[in-house]
Structure 1
Amino acid sequence: MQDATQYQQADTALHMRMIWLLHTNERVCSFPACLNIKPTLKEKSNVEERFVDCLKSWTTELVSLSRTENAVWCYEQACEVWPESGSTLHSTGKFLFQSGHPEEAVTLLHKAVQVKAQPDWLWDLQNASSSLVERWHFRMLNDRKRNQGYYDALQRAVRKGHQKVLDIGSGTGLLSMLAIKAGASRVTACEMSTAMCDLAQAIITQNNMEEHIVMKNLKSTDMEPASSSHDRFSLVVTEIADAGLLGEEIIPTLQHAWSHLLEENKSREDNNLPPKQIIPAGASVFIQLIESDYIMKQHRKVNAVDILRGVNVTSKSVQATLDVSSSSSIIDGDTEPYSSENLSQLPGGWKPLTSPSLVYKFNFCQSEVLDQDHQTDSVLSLPIVCSGRPDAIISWFELHLDEESSLSSSPASGSCWEQAVYPLRAEHYQDKNRTVLEVTQEDMVDIVCRCHPTWMSFRVKDVKSKGQEYSKPLRKPKIMEHEDLKSKYRVTEADSRMERSLNISSNKLSILNDGKYLNHLRESMQSLTSMATQGDKSVEEKLSVKIPNPISKVTVLDLSGMGISFLALKSMDILKNQLVGIISQSDGEDLVEEIFKSREEDLQYFKRCTLEGTEISTLEDVSIIVADPVETGGILQANALEDIYVYGTRSSHGSVFTIPGCLKVHAVCVESEELVRNTRVIGSDPTLGVNVEKINKFKTYTQLDVFLPTLPHRALSDPFTTFSIDINQLVKCKNPMEVFIQDREFTLEATASGRISAIVYWFEMTMSSGVCLNTLDEDNHWMQAAFVIDKEVLVQPGDKIQVTAHFRNNSLSFVVRKY
């Protein structure tokens, strides 16, 4: 018995020695020795958690001392000592990603989720993977029609005699391998991304083509000009085309290839050899004027937000259009003058106001792709075929692979490409009487078209009515330089007519346009303020709460990052004598600044600050917390619940109320090939027998911006509620981890036959006014999100389904099994 006690004391001492070593400045290599001497220490409860916590503390201190390399070494040692620890692998991978080592981070994060697929670990893996492999790679590789089109064109080119091929922007190397499969003898592939180049090399080796394909980790424009014709290529294949066709620099890239990389015709000794060729040989661009409520609300302020009166609010895509419509031919920064959308799944749909019209044709099989016609602004007059409100000009293209086949990116094509959207500026909607512009079938619309080597832009110039030259003149906007727009103006009484311009993200703008959301927010603030200051019994009964003692002044903490509580109040007259507000200002966000420029008379009642700089005494006065917990894309904001808890517990009031007061998560099991092909490669059939599944190491699980009403899918269960979080009670919770970390199991019944491939989920928020806002409703600014499961589950009607839902750090994941 005494020996056992001594052994236990020694065991504990060794355990504590290991923990202490992590907190001291001794060489960190000592703590692996503790675990190597006594591996059973790993089996003790909480040892893994304490080990990782100490590791984080020590490496944080090292980083603060500018010893990041030492911190990396500590994490590497920890993984060697405890390679089966998911927490250690995850912490190391996360640190490496933050330290600029994404490739190593993905490897470790992938191992961590294999140990335990926690939702926050999956989210970290997805973020790291996305930094290395763009999500569109999966859609492209799963596009069989696109792959088949390129393969057929390569076969025809090889039959003409092309043997030396240059693949520009090779990605996974699929087109290179299809060229070898078509009969080419040698392919040189250029890929500027190191991660993609390494991945392509692994895929090429797996397909036993490494002897025929040479990978180069560089841009083709950085290749040295070939010194002899023997080192040049007779065929170039590429697909560096974005939604706007030119955004990935296809024109300057091909012009460089013509000058430096393709064979010289004059040096050919055998006249039977084929002329040099480009796949694709050219492209045609089409445009169309459309009406779309969704696009309008994403890019132009339409809701009557009095707090921003006199401010012309537009999205960043509109700003880019404004930049390129001026005399300057240079876009500021990297902003393109368009956004992109999958119009076949656009929320609320869209209405064509004109027929599709051909606007540009490009011949890639000539050294000067852009001729004089391309470089001169042109005006295209189009007849209106359907009455409506012009919200945007959309464009798509046809890639002419050769003289026999083409690929289209049109909205009806179902291809891997989205369509380019050129939102119209606010001035284009308004005539001199400040009314919304409508066009009718009697009208003609003039569109100004401009082409640059790396972008195109389109904007409405005028609308003509039948029989009259210009009966509906549009106000011609004053072209303002970018710096003028950034400086903005402060409005005074004497200059109140001056309109300022505010340029914000489309997500923020969509919130400003959600009048229903802002109205319910205002009603909630008014009811809570009335209850807190006057002891309103009706509100207390509605919310089933009791206010200890009415207070004279309410302090509101706004955690939304954009001051939505202030925006929701059309008039401060009712509340300003009893309201003090703290608005957390998000980094670089101009919207908060505009709030105070617009309502200087109310400035005395609000404090604008970062939370880190807020005095503790001010936070102690907080009685209402306003949050915006759900992102526009359909997931929870990072740290949303944690921030509410942290700052709510600092209040000295007996009750702190939150808006929203309750949050529920609803979900449904679906079959959707669309969701699967957006997140991973589905077998080798889409890639014509070439195995590229190594890219699935970078697959994603959570897909944002899902719009269930237009998503191609089949519901295989009834909707069910996964989690319900009482946010009002969160600040009183003794153990908040019970809220932040939850697991629940459900037994469902399949309602139809099919394969469960994903769980689509959305949120229901209960406002203090008693109204419930559902993010699945089509008339609000939210989308939904989906979790794509690893293996599809085949079900028949009546089958029992077990769904396990995990909630970690505001992230959701699901496991689906059939009984």
Structure 2
Amino acid sequence: MASSLVSKYFTSLLLSAGPHLRTAAARAAMSSQRVLQLKLDPLTGNSEWVVIDEEDDGDGAATQDFQKLLLATTSYLDMLNDSYRNRCFREAIDKAVTKPCHVLDIGAGTGLLSMMAARAMTLSDMPGPNSKGMVTACESYLPMVKLMRKVVHINGMGRKISIINKRSDEVRVGVDIDSRADVLVSEILDSELLGEGLIPTLQHAHDMLLVENPLSVPYKATVFGQLVECKYLQKLHNLYGYENETSDGIHLVPAGLDTIVSVKRQQYPMHCDAIAKEMKLLSEPFRVFEFDFWRRPESCREAAVCVKANCDGQAHALVSWWELQLDCEGSIFYTTAPGWVSSQDKSNARSWCDHWKQCVWFIPGRGLPLSMDKDVPILAIHSETTISYQLEADCKYTVGDVHITLSPERMAIYGDCEWRRSMLKAMQNALQRRVPSLCIVADDSIFLALLVAHLSQESHVMAFFPGLRDEGTSYLQAVAGANGFTMDRVEVLKKRSLNLTMHETHDKEVDLLIAEPFYFGNEGMLPWQNLRFWKEKSQLNSVLSKDAVVMPCKGILKVCAMSLPDLWNSRRSLDKIEGFDHSVVNTTLGACGDAAEDSPCLPFFVWQCGEVKELSKALRVMEFDFSRDIHPCYGKTKVEFSEAGTCHGFVFWIDWVMDAEDSVVISTGPGERYWKQGVKLLPKPEVVEKRGSGSPDRTSSLVMEVSFDPSNGQLSIKHTSS
């Protein structure tokens, strides 16, 4: 599943790269035995292409660590730990493959489905030698192909499975495979169902690679939807409505320009069970689309659905999920439905997993008012890769020529009254210390750019907007009047901070350097990767005044020990999956468990990670002092458990101290929904007790040591029993 998504992501990065980089990258990847990976420096925003060769087994430590980190951030491990999914596919493949035949596995990953098919042929009760049976495993992502070969080898399946390192639409009958396949097995599905190219992949397979009327596993998929009322979901997209409740005088979305800042019109994956208690269900679940795997699908379709409201309310969103029917008889099913819909008995229950979530489609503005028994017409539309919806409220949604698209969490932050009050107080405190002649906004914060221009009429404001760039300029021009300033006082810099000179600052020293910090497009990264602000600040010394005010003035790395059973189980080390040994993948995929090495620290919305419980207080680990240049940091703290339970790992975040008086602190911890935290899972869960309980068999405290390396922006995290 994840491999096609990774390939698609890096292809898009390649296409967006500069012409010289594209040319060099293309030459480097001319051979099908090579793959390109884009390596990003989180502290500078710079990136470089890394070429991974077929023969490269990661002998170099840097290359090996890079490949491991890339694979550890995919969904492979989580997917392979989904026992419900594995059992469903095994049962369906055993039913479909009952005699020697040609099976094609598209997006083969570790080869699990291929091995299931090969075993089913071997075990089939057929007379004579199994000479005609064969399995072709098609996988485009080279690092995963190399891992698959190891898995297939240790399971003794090397002679039964032919592995092709190509995209399926590059495979040719008579060149790569001898004949068309009789059976298709595939799992190129994302949370929305279509986002990994299911439709074009099936179209090409049916046109070029499969026999007429083939068998397929899965057999078909059905998409369902449900209308809900939920204030939290409304906050994730309705900035105009919530900004009206603030009183700071800043208008990110002025009247008449209420869509100038918005979220992208798409479905957003989310663990909706985490907010189930905040939802009011306004309709029964309804069918949207069916997609057959056993026949060629259409590229685009529309479906008019009439939904009856089952109560009064305001529809803020449409929650969707899908159900797989894996066998043609209709006896084996897998669903991504939320808990309030799922009706499987406990033996077939789907455990918490992160690789497939529900999806949310936001209904614009204040939503759609519904009355009991009212018919709600919905037009569902699917393209080759997306599903979208049109309701009455959507028809009124228009986007002007000037438009900035932000993530839902960023929209919610900008509409949060408490966050805005904190930023206003911090800025007022900074301006009391010194009225700047020149202020630089170091990040992509449109809010701070408007705030300082609005509050300090004597200041000239420069914004780097490293991600927004020209869009940021157009935006400021459009909203300047509504925020009480003119564009002769505000500009967006074209140069990077590293190259900024007094010439670009009009021979003025910078008196105020500010950031949230927020970098456009980096919302999914680890918290300390926003320390790019510290790097940027250190590169501006030549233009900073000696008594320049820096906001935030420091960052505090914090940690909390937590019980995270669902997350830990989804990333635990693998042994046998439906009878096939997968232990060889543990180290590469960053598994945690007895047989695994140290797992990487990964970003998660902790509040969406299933069952969670804090077992210690939030503790200070180290301080990043932005008044100094960026430098290596080290911190050590003793984590004492305030609750008994099972500790599965540690959650890290940064509290941004905005002013020198420490009166304004913006926390990004696990109690906050709008930021991702860094999660470091333990190799083995620790049964812990409350400090002072005196049980000899349980741990009451641990010592945490953390170091920060400014050369790569990474944290090194170690813990020992005290």
Normalising by structure 1, report the TM-score: 0.68
Q: In structure 1, how many angstroms separate the alpha carbons of the residues matched to 2:608 and 2:201?
A: 40
- Residue 141 of structure 1 contacts residue 687 of structure 1 at CA under 8 Å; is this kept in 2? no
Cross-structure match for 1:218: 166
Matches of 1:706 and 1:110 in 2, distance apart? 33
Deviation at residue 696 of structure 1 after TM alignment: 3.3
Q: Which letter does structure 2 place at the counterpart of 1:422?
A: W
In structure 2, relative to structure 1, the CA distance for the partners of 1:67 and 1:375 (3 Å cut) is closer
What's the counterpart of residue 12 of structure 2? Answer: none
Could you tell me which of 506, 531, 535 is aligned with 2:433?
A: 531
CA distance in 2 between partners of 1:754 and 1:111 (Å): 37
Partner of 2:638: 747
**Contact in 2 for aligned 1:668/1:760 (Cα 8 Å):** yes
**Helix, strand or coil at the partner of 1:251:** helix
1:596 has 2:477 as partner: yes
Deviation at 1:508, TM superposition (A): 4.3
> For residue 781 of structure 1, what is the aligned residue in structure 2?
674
Alignment of 1:495-534 (within 5 A): 501-506=403-408, 508-533=410-435
Report the equivalent of 2:31. Answer: none
Residue 493 (structure 2) aligns with: 609
CA shift, 1:641, in A, is: 1.4
Contact 1:558 1:564 in 2 (8 A): no
Q: What is aligned with 1:144?
A: 83
- Aligned partner letter, 2:304: V
- Which residue type is aligned with residue 100 of structure 1? V
Residue pair 1:291, 1:392 contacting (<8 A) in 2 also: yes
User: Which residue of 80, 94, 100 maps to 2:50?
Assistant: 100
Distance 2:301 2:523 in 1: 39
Are residues 1:701 and 2:600 paired? yes
1:383 aligns with 2:274: no
SS in 2 for 1:625: strand
Are residue 419 (structure 1) and residue 358 (structure 2) matched? yes
Distance 1:646 1:230 in 2: 59
Cα separation, partners in 2 of 1:263 and 1:635, compared to 1, 3 Å:
same
- Partner of 2:486, secondary structure, is helix
**Percent of counterpart pairs with the same letter?**
21
Q: If each structure's strand is expressed as a fraction of its own residues, which one has the higher value?
A: 2
Structure-to-structure mapping, 1:290-329, within 5 angstroms: 290-302=228-240, 303-304=242-243, 305-309=250-254, 310-313=256-259, 318-319=264-265
Structure 1 residue aligned with 2:705: 804
TM superposition shift of 1:113: 10
* TM-score, structure 2 normalization: 0.76
SS in 1 for 2:153: helix
In structure 2, C-alpha distance between the alignment counterparts of 1:104 and 1:664, rounded to whole Å? 43
Counterparts in 2 of 1:592 and 1:756: CA distance versus 1, 3 Å? farther
Distance in 2, matches of 1:598 and 1:812, equals 40
- The residue type equivalent to 2:190 in the other structure is D
- Tell me, yes or no, if the aligned pair for 2:363 and 2:394 is still in contact at 8 Å: no
Relative to total residues, which structure has the larger helix share, 1 or 2? 1
Quote the Cα distance in structure 2 between the aligned partners of 1:149 and 1:675: 22
CA distance in 1: counterparts of 2:313 and 2:260, whole angstroms: 21
Letter in 2 for 1:629: P
Equivalent of 2:183, from 224, 227, 235?
235
The Cα shift of 1:349 comes to 5.1
Query: Aligned AA for 1:806?
Result: S
Contact 1:622 1:656 in 2 (8 A): yes
Helix, strand or coil at the partner of 1:596: helix
> For the residues of structure 2 that align with 1:703 and 1:347, how far apart are their CA atoms?
25
Kindly indicate whether structure 1 or structure 2 has the higher relative contact order, using CA contacts under 8 Å at least 6 residues apart.
2
2:84 and 2:164 map into 1 onto residues whose CA distance is 27
- 1:765 is the counterpart of 2:656: yes
Verify the 8 A CA contact 2:138 2:163 in the aligned structure 1: yes
Closer, same or farther: CA 561–369 of 1 in aligned 2, 3 Å? closer
In the other structure, the counterpart of 1:394 is: 319
Q: Hey, what does 1:441 align to over in structure 2?
A: 372
How many residues are aligned here?
622
Which deviates more from structure 2 when the two are superposed, residues 339-348 or residues 520-529? 339-348
Alignment of 1:683-694 (within 5 A): 683-686=574-577, 688-691=579-582, 693-694=584-585
1:401 Cα deviation (Å)?
0.6
Among candidates 167, 170, 173, match of residue 105 of structure 2: 167
Residue type of the alignment partner of 1:381: C
Give 1:776 deviation, angstroms: 2.8
1:22-37 equivalence runs, <5 A? none
CA distance in 1 between counterparts of 2:204 and 2:632 reads 55
Is the CA contact (8 Å cut-off) linking 1:353 and 1:385 kept in structure 2?
yes
Cα shift readout 1:480-517 (whole Å, capped 9, x = no counterpart): 7xxxx5xx2xxxxxxxxxxx544344454344323322
Measure how far apart 1:295 and its partner are: 3.7
Pairwise CA distance, 1:667: 0.9
The 3 A distance-change label for structure 1 pair 716 and 111 is farther
CA distance in structure 1 between the partners assigned to 2:177 and 2:511 by the alignment: 78
Specify which of 251, 274, 278 is matched with residue 216 of structure 2: 278
Mapped to 2, the partners of 1:581 and 1:228 lie a distance apart of: 60
Partner of 1:38: none
Alpha-carbon displacement from aligned partner over 1:643-698 (angstroms, at most 9, x marks no partner): 22332564233x222222332222112232433355x4522245544325326314
**Structure 2 counterpart of 1:199:** 147
Q: For 1:136 and 1:478, how far apart are their aligned partners in 2?
A: 34
CA RMSD of aligned residues (A): 3.9
Distance change >3 Å, CA 704–CA 567, structure 1 → 2: farther
Q: 1:512 to 1:101 in 2, by over 3 A?
A: same
Structure 1: distance between partners of 2:186 and 2:394: 43
1:308 deviates by 3.8
Matches within 5 A, 1:59-208: 98-102=48-52, 111=61, 125=65, 128-129=67-68, 131=70, 135-158=74-97, 160-184=98-122, 185-208=133-156
Structure 2 CA distance, aligned partners of 1:212 and 1:393? 45
Structure 1's unaligned 5+ residue stretches are 1-62, 72-89, 115-124, 266-275, 320-336, 430-435, 462-473, 489-499, 534-552
Per the alignment, do residues 359 and 566 of structure 1 end up closer, same or farther by CA in structure 2, a change over 3 Å counting?
Answer: same
- C-alpha distance in 1, partners of 2:573/2:510? 52
Whether the aligned pair in 2 keeps the contact of 1:291 and 1:350 (CA below 8 Å) is: yes
Pair 240,316 (structure 1): closer, same or farther in 2 beyond 3 Å: farther
Shift of 1:632: 4.4
For 2:703 and 2:573, locate their aligned partners in 1 and report how far apart those are by CA, in whole Å: 25
Counterpart amino acid of residue 289 in structure 2: Y
Distance 1:388 1:138, change over 3 A: farther
Q: Aligned-pair distance for 1:813? A: 3.5
- Structure 1 partner of 2:513: 625
